[in-house]
């Protein structure tokens, strides 16, 4: 147990049997995810209906963005571990996020399509397009400083072998999804009744609320998340500039880099590849050079299991892109005479998480008591199988629809149900796994790796979404039947591949479990 852990627990007492600092992390992350998912629910529509990008280009921008937001947590994690400490890093992240979401609210005039020399040309206001890319860059950097560090802050509230740790992460994961559900719902409805500025503006206000909660709750965190060596931060690097301010300036420089990267998206895949290679080398190198046999095996199993996320999120994250568009174009969204906006369905997954997370947590405990709780590798395999089944259900629903614009809503809901059950078998389990299988001194870096694998999955999701694209005019599909056929083709392949990988993962599970040396 570190000193800061002791101070954190002592500082705030307990709430529902957990350190009260968890309440601060819960609400800060809840508001951060409110803004992230609220904005994201509108993003694909902003791209296709406001800027009139084609489906393919929109999917590329969307994929690059959701990939970069999970690359930067590695940087944010390392900077926090070595210099800033999680508290300052989270505050910096929140400020950048507020700026980014506010920037998104400046939408300018809708792009126009004209025909020049027989060719269709889209005219977009260059100033607002640049504001848009710059805002995305601020958000990418903001998530980088906030996301992994708020997760490690949760971990640092507990002693190394504290049995409440998993439960703490499950509660934290519910906070994520409460934010996500209300973000998508509120921003989705604001888009419908006010416009993009209203939706994005609400995301910005949400993050402001998160920052206020975090700053006001500092006392409850005690010493957790303070800089490891405060004297390092005060060191003068140049006249008037100490290390702390140099870091803030570098963060702004990073925003400029991501601003350009969002406009040169072909580089994102390469950047991601470079980061992944580097992290694999670092983790494997560390495991062989610094760890004993059991620790080494655990670290390597942890790294290997992280790779499952590439398949999982690559398919799961169709939610905000192709599934969002399919819901808009091909699903009958009328309930009791009222047409529900497509973006609002972005909240279904989060709602299922909130309902099912406590049940899953009880299920694991119940199975554990009988000695039949699936191991972590087995849970990951189950995640892939359920994900695949979800796609196949929607494909079946589409096949029995007699109108291509009226696929039954129930099939979409069933897809989200199965995808959520899969998510509960991989995502919170993975956060917990990372803190359990990693050597404690590099747990922050490993958490960054966890999100990096998510980044790779998100990147792949953009590529897959691009495969579903159909011809559009003014943001509307020309032929809904052809559009549905494209979704069905990609989703049935996704379904079968995912089940195939899941079965393979099941076969591998006993071997991986063996190399975990008693950690489940
Ligand atoms: N939905 C979860 C979150 O937003 C997990 C995301 C991920 O790891 N890709 O935190």
The number of the ligand 1 atom at minimal distance from the alpha carbon of 450 is 8
User: 16: exposed, middle or buried (C-beta count within 10 Å: 0-12, 13-18, 19+)?
Assistant: exposed
Q: Which of 11-20, 357-366, 502-511 is predicted with the least confidence, judged by mean pLDDT?
A: 11-20
Q: Is 87 in the pocket of ligand 1 (CB under 6 A)?
A: no
State whether the beta carbon of 454 lies less than 6 angstroms from ligand 1. yes
The pLDDT of residue 160 is 60
387-405 CB burial, b ≥16 within 10 A, e <16:
bbbbbbbbbebbeebeebe
313: Cβ below 6 Å to ligand 1? yes
**Residue-wise pLDDT tens digits, 152-206:** 888 888 876 676 777 788 789 999 999 999 998 899 899 988 999 999 999 999 9
Regarding predicted confidence, which is higher, 315 or 519?
Answer: 315
- Token look-up 């906030």 returns 146
- Residue 267 Cα to ligand 1 midpoint, Å, equals 24
What is the reported pLDDT for 177? 94
Give whole-number Cα distances, 330 to 55, 136, 202, 433, 482, in Å. Answer: 15, 29, 28, 39, 10
Q: Which atom of ligand 1 is nearest to the CA of 458?
A: 9
Closest approach atom of ligand 1 to CA 317: 9
- Among 26, 67, 454, residue to substitute to test ligand 1 (most atoms within 8 Å of Cβ): 454
Q: Looking at residues 463-491, what average pLDDT do you find?
A: 88
Structure tokens at 101: 């979401």
User: Residue 199 Cα, ligand 1 centroid: separation in angstroms?
Assistant: 21
What is the total residue count of the chain? 520
What's the 398 CA to ligand 1 centre distance in angstroms? 28
**Residue 289 C-alpha to ligand 1 middle, in angstroms?**
31
Query: Cβ of 385: how many Cβ atoms within 10 Å?
Result: 20
Ligand 1, atom 7, lies closest to the CA of 454
| In the predicted structure, residue 18 carries a pLDDT above the cut 90 | no
User: Could you read off the pLDDT of 133-150 as tens digits, one per residue?
Assistant: 999 999 999 999 999 899
DSSP labels, 157-185: TS-TT-TTHHHHHHHHHHHHHHHHHHHHH
> Residue 476 in contact with residue 52, Cβ under 8 Å?
no
Give the Cα separation of 164 and 441 in Å (integer): 21
Contacts 24+ apart (CB under 8 A), 392-400: 392/492, 392/495, 392/496, 392/499, 393/418, 394/491, 395/488, 395/491, 395/492, 395/495, 398/330, 398/484, 398/487, 398/488, 399/488
Q: Could you give the CA distance from residue 456 to residue 272 in angstroms, rounded to a whole number?
A: 7
pLDDT of residue 12: 60
Identify the residue whose C-alpha is closest to ligand 1 atom 9. 454
Supply the mean pLDDT for the chain: 90
Instruction: Decide: 176 in ligand 1 pocket, CB within 6 A.
Output: yes
Phi and psi at 62, nearest 5°, equal -60, -45
For ligand 1, pick from 97, 309, 427, 450 the residue to mutate: most ligand atoms within 8 Å of CB. Answer: 427
| 192 Cβ contact partners less than 8 Å away, ≥ 6 residues apart | 341, 343
Q: Whose CA is nearest to atom 8 of ligand 1?
A: 454
Is the distance from the beta carbon of residue 427 to the nearest atom of ligand 1 less than 6 Å?
yes
- Looking from the CA of residue 147, the nearest atom of ligand 1 is 10
Interval 239-270: pLDDT, tens: 889 999 999 999 999 999 999 999 999 999 89
Q: Which residue has the tokens 């027989």?
A: 118
Residue with more model confidence, 33 or 473: 33
Each residue's pLDDT tens digit, 207-224: 999 999 999 999 898 888
Q: How many CA atoms lie within 13 A of 500 on its CB side?
A: 7
- Expressed in angstroms and rounded, the spacing between residue 64 Cα and the centre of ligand 1 is 16
CB of 435 closer than 6 angstroms to any ligand 1 atom: no
Smallest Cα–Cα separation from 244: which of 430, 80, 71, 403? 80
Atom of ligand 1 nearest to the CA of 313: 9
Collapsing DSSP to helix, strand or coil, 472 comes out as strand
**pLDDT higher than 80, residue 475:** no
Burial class (CB in 10 A: 0-12, 13-18, 19+), 106: middle
C-alpha closest to that of 427 among 305, 289, 517, 274: 305
- What is the distance in A from the centroid of ligand 1 to the CA of 328? 24
What is the predicted pLDDT for the residue at 11?
53
Closest CA to 158 of 2, 361, 376, 28: 2
């Amino acid at each position: 147990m570190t000193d800061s852990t002791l101070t954190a627990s002592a500082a705030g007492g307990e709430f529902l049997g957990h350190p009260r600092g968890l309440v601060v992390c819960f609400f800060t992350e809840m508001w951060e995810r409110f803004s992230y998912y609220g904005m994201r629910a509108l993003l694909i529509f902003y791209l296709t209906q406001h800027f009139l990008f084609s489906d393919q280009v929109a999917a590329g921008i969307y994929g690059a963005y959701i990939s970069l937001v999970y690359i930067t947590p590695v940087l944010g994690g390392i900077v926090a571990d070595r210099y800033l400490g999680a508290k300052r890093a989270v505050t910096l992240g929140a400020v950048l996020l507020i700026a980014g979401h506010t920037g998104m609210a400046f939408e300018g005039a809708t792009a126009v399509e004209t025909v020049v020399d027989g060719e269709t040309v889209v005219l977009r206001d260059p100033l607002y397009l640049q504001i848009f890319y710059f805002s995305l860059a601020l958000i990418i950097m903001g998530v980088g400083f906030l996301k992994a560090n708020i997760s490690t802050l949760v971990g640092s509230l507990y002693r190394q072998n504290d049995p409440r740790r998993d439960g703490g992460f499950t509660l934290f994961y519910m906070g994520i999804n409460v934010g996500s559900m209300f973000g998508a719902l509120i921003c989705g409805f604001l888009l419908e009744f006010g416009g993009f500025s209203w939706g994005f503006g609400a995301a910005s206000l949400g993050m402001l609320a998160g920052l206020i909660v975090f700053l006001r709750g500092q006392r409850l965190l005690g010493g957790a998340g303070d800089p490891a060596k405060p004297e390092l931060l005060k060191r003068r690097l140049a006249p008037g500039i100490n290390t702390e301010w140099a870091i803030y300036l570098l963060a702004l420089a990073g925003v400029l880099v991501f601003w350009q990267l969002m406009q040169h998206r072909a580089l994102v895949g390469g950047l991601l590849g470079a980061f992944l290679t580097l992290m694999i080398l670092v983790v494997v190198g560390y495991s062989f050079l610094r760890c004993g046999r059991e620790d080494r095996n655990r670290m390597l199993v942890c790294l290997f299991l992280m790779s499952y996320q590439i398949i999982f999120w690559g398919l799961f994250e169709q939610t905000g892109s192709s599934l969002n568009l399919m819901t808009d174009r091909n699903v009958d969204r009328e309930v009791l005479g009222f047409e529900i906006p497509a973006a609002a369905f972005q909240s279904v997954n989060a709602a299922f998480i909130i309902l099912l997370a406590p049940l899953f947590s009880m299920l694991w405990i119940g199975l554990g008591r009988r000695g039949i709780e699936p191991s972590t590798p087995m849970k990951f395999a189950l995640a892939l199988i359920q994900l695949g089944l979800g796609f196949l259900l929607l494909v079946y629903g589409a096949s029995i629809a007699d109108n291509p614009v009226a696929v039954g809503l129930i099939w979409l809901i069933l897809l989200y149900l199965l995808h959520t059950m899969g998510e509960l078998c991989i995502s919170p389990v993975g956060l917990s796994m990372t803190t359990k299988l990693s050597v404690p001194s590099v747990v922050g870096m490993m958490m960054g790796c966890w999100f990096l694998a998510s980044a790779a999955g998100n990147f792949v999701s953009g590529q897959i979404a691009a495969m579903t694209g159909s011809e559009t005019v003014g943001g509307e599909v020309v032929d809904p039947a052809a559009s549905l056929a494209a979704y069905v083709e990609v989703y049935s392949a996704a379904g079968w591949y995912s089940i195939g990988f899941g079965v393979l993962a099941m076969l591998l599970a006993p071997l991986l479990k063996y190399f975990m040396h008693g950690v489940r």
